[in-house]
Amino acid sequence: MTATTVTPKAPDAVTPKTPDPAVRVRASRLVLYTVLVVITGLMLGPFGWLIITGLKTTPELAASPVHWLPDRIQWHNFADAFTNIDFLGYARNSLVISLIYATLVTLSSAWVGFGFARLNAPGKKLLFGVLLGSMMLPQMITLFPTYLIFAKLGMVDTYWPWVLWGLAAAPYLVFLFRQFFAGMPRELEEAAIVDGCGYGGIFWRIFLPQSWPVLAASFVIAFTWSWGDFIAPMLLLSSDRTTLSVALMTSYVTPGGLPVNNLLAAGSVMYVVPILLIFLVAQRGFVTGMSTTGLK
């Protein structure tokens, strides 16, 4: 009888498991959220340190090594920063200048951006390139000639320079409006022309009401520019008519001329609050305007 040999059967190849798509999505989201939290912490860190500095005493600020947290929270620093100077008066000056400039420059930039987007003229592209190139000029280059012009016109220690700056439009805002208006349908303009509407009416009745996201974004940007400006008010305005930014940097000092850093930090926190409130109110329009500009 013949013996039969049994050949062992090779085991089936193990098929590697494919990772669950839901697990991969959760892992990628976890990494993304971690990165966002770290970036947010880095961005808010200086503002948090500013608040902590405003709650310290002067010896704690001068301590070595660094005294990270105050032993006793000095809430009165905020009250002292508010009462040691005419805080409301300087804030009113900043608010008036910022509102005037932001309103005028938003409307004038919208008008110029409409012209670049919808009107045809010889040399339009060259002129638009020159406009964009002017954004690369530092403010210090043009500030001194501008001061001489305003001094000759008798506008020093008045708010007229901010009116003229607002009427002159801003290159970056012009670019935003130009990109937005260039993406609007040509049929709206043609239908209005057929109905007898001129380009002025087309701008005010059709294009401007449709551009509220860019209007909100431009207003917030322009308000922030003017509210945070230090050089122009310091150069053009007297101590009674100056803005809050100048008052903060020049008023919180000792008789010897040294800065009182805890009061300066407390006043700076209160100085930032209006900007945060304006952004929180207009953030939807601001984000929409910045994200949709240039999309057709």
pLDDT digits (tens, 9 = 90+) for 35-65: 999 999 998 888 899 999 999 998 888 888 8
Three-state SS for 204-253 is HHHHHHHCHHHHHHHHHHHHHHHHCCCHHHHHHCCCCCCCHHHHHHHHCE
Q: What is the mean pLDDT of the chain?
A: 86
210, pLDDT greater than 90: no
Burial 239-250 (b: 16+ CB within 10 A, else e): eebbbbbbbbee
Q: State the pLDDT at residue 296.
A: 46
Rounded to two decimals, what is the model's pTM? 0.82
What is the longest distance spanned by two Cα atoms in the chain?
127
Q: Which two tokens stand for residue 58?
A: 């002067």
In the predicted structure, residue 96 carries a pLDDT above the cut 90: yes
Please give the pLDDT value at position 246.
94
82 and 65 Cβ atoms separated by less than 8 Å: no
| pLDDT value at residue 12 | 55
Q: What percent of the chain has pLDDT over 90?
A: 49
Residue range 92-98: mean pLDDT, rounded: 95
User: Sorting pLDDT into bands at 50, 70 and 90, what band is 285?
Assistant: low
Instruction: Check whether 11 has a pLDDT greater than 80.
Output: no
